[in-house]
């Protein structure tokens, strides 16, 4: 917690952020420009047979930011695509940058 940095949105000025909550390999929350922003979390879930485990990815957004929901939806689609690639190749995807 307390990590800080800057994000550069596609449109608009660079914004400062601060990680406000962190649980390793489970969740994190942040403030952007001093305002509570989205939360991100993952959780293991039993699969259909009860033995296979699946991963659930959840993005939380404040009630006052419905305009941000399409951005979160695109992010979830990208994560799903990366997971499918990893599953089909058996190799982890390397982070960009």
CA dihedral 1, 68, 41, 83 (to 10 degrees): -120
| Selection from 45, 72, 68 nearest residue 56 by Cα | 45
6: number of Cβ within 10 Å:
9
Give the span between the Cα atoms of 4 and 16, in whole angstroms: 7
State the pTM of this model.
Answer: 0.64
Q: Domain ranges in the chain?
A: 4-89
pLDDT tens, the chain, 97 aa long: 778 999 887 788 999 999 999 888 788 898 988 888 888 888 777 767 766 567 788 888 888 888 888 888 988 898 888 888 887 888 877 766 4
């Amino acid at each position: 917690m307390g990590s800080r940095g800057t994000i550069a949105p596609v449109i608009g000025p660079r914004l400062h952020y601060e990680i406000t909550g962190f649980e390793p390999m489970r969740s994190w929350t942040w403030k952007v420009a001093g305002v509570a922003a989205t939360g991100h979390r993952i959780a293991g879930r039993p699969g259909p047979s009860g033995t296979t485990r699946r991963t659930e990815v959840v993005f939380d957004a404040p009630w006052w930011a419905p305009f941000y929901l399409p951005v979160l939806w695109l992010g979830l689609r990208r994560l799903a695509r990366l997971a499918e690639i990893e599953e089909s190749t058996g190799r982890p995807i390397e982070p960009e940058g």
